[in-house]
Amino acid sequence: MADQIIHPKSNLARRAHVASFEQYEQLYAASLRDPRAFWRERAARVDWFHPFERTCRQDFGNAEVAWYLGGKLNAAYNCVDRWLEDRAEQTAIIWVADEPGEYRHISFHELHENVGRLANLLRAHGVRKGDRVCIYLPMIPEAAFAMLACARIGAVHSVVFAGFSAESLRDRIDDADCQVVLTANEGLRGGKVIPLKATVDAAVEGLPVRSVIVKQRTDTPTPMKAGRDYDFDEEMSKQRAFCPVEWMDSEDPLFVLYTSGSTGRPKGQLHTTGGYLVYASYTHELVFDWHRGDVHFCAADVGWITGHSYIVYGPLCNGATTVMFESTPVYPDASRYWQVVDDVQASIFYTAPTALRALIRFGDEPVKQYGRESLRVLGSVGEPINPEVWQWYHDVVGGGRCAVVDTWWQTETGGILISALPGATPCKPGSATFPLPGVRPMLVDEQGTELTGNDVAGNLCITGSWPGQARTILGDHERFRQTYFTTYPGRYFTGDGCRRDADGYYWITGRVDDVVNVSGHRLGTAEVESALVAHDYCAEAAVVACPHEVKGQSIYCYVIPGQGAEGVEPATIEQELVKAVRDAIGGIATPERVQVVPGLPKTRSGKIMRRILRKIAESNYEDLGDITTLAEPAVVEQIVAGHKAGKS
């Protein structure tokens, strides 16, 4: 069956930055003919204190990439000060509080004052250029102030998603050697209280953290440790609003953001200043077809890369009005997003398929309660979007009038690499469509041979650098090189599988490594396994991804009980181990199920056959493949029996 094609709406095309598919093709061809010239021109969108001398240096063999060499700029200056002249009173941030109807509008002028004060506050607490600062805040404007305040003085922020546990937070604070932590007494999400300060207290115990700055988000008092903990508002009131900006080199670090890979502990992806900023702002304008006056509503959390690039840096660097949403899609009911869209008159809305799948279950009524006339572009990110969900997004949420852009990218890429463009791209629901200008994807087979032409499927690589690319893993460049540049030498390996169909459309098929994507959040199976074996109820563990209707994937754990579990009921072991994972990583990693097993299917050389475990987890018992080569084939039957019993 031929795929259905949804053509760009003519009213969108008329005003779009890229107004037809021919225009896209010309732009794309030009960008590949002379990538350096292409990216040199794009750099003019940013304000440089000192011009750069060379556009790009690239050596994928050594994982060395640098952009806009010799240039000096400041990210906070570009996101804030630059707009004071002609849009000081324009709203920069619309904060949407958890409680419906509660909004706060922050103008560029106010943003400037807050960022300046906070930058001075950080300086007063000893933060200097190059120092790392941990931000563990809920979705409140102070999170954006904090990122920009760091950028202003050349400090490197490390935002940790406020759903991570004390243990995860501790690892990240320790790895980045953060001496100052910004947090809130509590967070509020969907009416639920999240005890952030208590988590920070547990996390920093014994670490050389000098100052913990605490914003009072709620009225609940929190214990403050004298000499270490400070009240945010009180400290802010002591500071003047003016703070000079630090001139940063284009390649000076802007931030570090941790993400999971297939092995070991989360990696601190380091992004630098010039290239990241050019890339985030360019792609924000291009992919969402942003025009001055448009309200940009990205419903992500600043704890993820999507929040960094498309709530804070991209939009603000373009002088946009950006929305920060503290709540959930279903609080107080399933119409919340659409209520916000109408209230703030959002033109652009950006969310993850998992949220859409959760909302579809409530039917069309909650959407139709609101008019949504302001919407023009709808974006999707984080995981493959099912064609039916794409169609619902287009027909129901967008009322058939809006463009839907499925945007593929990663923490490592800094910004979107493959996506439709609202005024230009004929879409196939479920396909991320085509690469953005300047981006060169390549499909390869297991041996690394390029799959040329169309109607091919393989692993997705990118063959040349783009400005938004992460430069290294904090403190471990060799791991960076190994992870991304050695599987297919000379190319950046994304970890994703991908199909290019007969018409050249790209379809991301999901991770080909041991990364699980739960509700659009990346988790490594190795991290979950080490959380399990740290408990004395567990001797050995194997964790696999299992398809899930709403979350996309869920976490399924097989465990062999440890010595401490002797005489303990399997049900208790399972509950305890679920809790152990939550405690070690956070609620987002909560296993769908922990199954106690007598053994794991292993080859004679001791390798766990995850393929078999995946099939069992998805109740696909018939198609387990050849199990005769296993050391103990009988164990498979026992695992299947245990899985069936657990379902009933």
Give the interface with ligand WTA as residue ranges (CB under 6 A): 259, 304-306, 381-384, 406-411, 432, 494-496, 508, 510-511, 517, 522
Least separation in angstroms between CB 244 and ligand WTA: 34
Nearest CA to 460 out of 517, 518, 418 is that of 418
Give the tokens for residue 645.
């019993």
CA-nearest of 64, 71, 111, 63 to 91 is 111
Per DSSP, the chain holds a count of helices (H) and strands (E) of 22, 30
Q: Smallest distance from the beta carbon of 348 to ligand WTA, in angstroms?
A: 16
For residue 564, give both structure tokens: 């401490």
Q: How far is the CB of 17 from ligand WTA (least distance, A)?
A: 21
Q: How far is the CB of 484 from ligand WTA (least distance, A)?
A: 12
Dig out the tokens for 638 from the structure.
């026992």
Min dist. Cβ of residue 409 to ligand WTA (A): 5
CA gyration radius for the chain? 24
Closest CA to 264 of 539, 516, 527, 607: 527
Q: Of 81 and 496, which CB lies nearer to ligand WTA in the complex structure?
A: 496
Q: Which of 497, 495, 517 is nearest to 508 (CA)?
A: 497
Nearest approach in angstroms of CB 445 to ligand WTA is 19
Instruction: Between 52 and 408, name the residue whose CB sits nearer to ligand WTA.
Output: 408
Between 472 and 517, name the residue whose CB sits nearer to ligand WTA.
Answer: 517
Residue 374 CA: distances (Å) to CA of 212, 280, 345, 475, 586: 41, 24, 5, 45, 37
Q: Are residues 545 and 614 in contact, defined by beta-carbon separation less than 8 angstroms? A: yes
Q: Residue 406 Cβ, how far from ligand WTA at the closest point, in Å?
A: 5
CB atoms within 10 A of CB 110: 19
- Closest by CA to 1, choosing from 384, 387, 360, is 387
Output 300 or 323, the one with its CB closest to ligand WTA: 300
* Nearest approach, Cβ of residue 232 and ligand WTA (Å): 28
The residue number whose beta carbon is nearest to ligand WTA equals 411
Q: For ligand WTA, give the closer residue by CB, 199 or 380.
A: 380
Give the strand order in the sheet containing 321-325: 103-107, 91-96, 321-325, 295-298, 348-351, 377-381, 403-407
For tokens 């991804």, name the residue. Answer: 545
The C-alpha atoms of residue 437 and residue 417 are separated, in whole angstroms, by 9
For tokens 């002379």, the residue is 34
Q: In the beta sheet, which residues pair with residue 230?
A: 213
How is residue 419 written in tokens?
């996506």
* CB 561, min distance to ligand WTA, A: 33
Least distance to ligand WTA from the beta carbon of 460, Å? 9
CA distance 400 to 484: 40
Token output for 471: 């430069």
Q: Is the Cβ of residue 152 or residue 284 nearer to ligand WTA in the bound state?
A: 284
User: Which of residues 108 and 304 has its CB atom nearest to ligand WTA in the complex?
Assistant: 304
* Concatenated DSSP letters of 552-586: EEEEEEEEEE-GGGTT--HHHHHHHHHHHHHHHTB
Nearest distance in Å: CB 353, ligand WTA = 8
* Closest to ligand WTA by CB, 56 or 462: 462
Half-sphere exposure of 511 (CA within 13 A, CB side): 24
Instruction: Indicate the residue among 213 and 443 with the shorter CB distance to ligand WTA.
Output: 443
Which of residues 304 and 505 has its CB atom nearest to ligand WTA in the complex? Answer: 304
Q: How many CB atoms lie within 10 A of CB 230?
A: 19
In the bound complex, what is the minimum distance in angstroms from residue 583's beta carbon to ligand WTA?
A: 22
C-beta of 137 vs 523, nearer to ligand WTA: 523
Look at the alpha carbons of 167, 173, 179, 184 in this order and tell me if their dihedral is positive or negative. negative
Give 304 or 393: the residue with its C-beta nearer to ligand WTA: 304
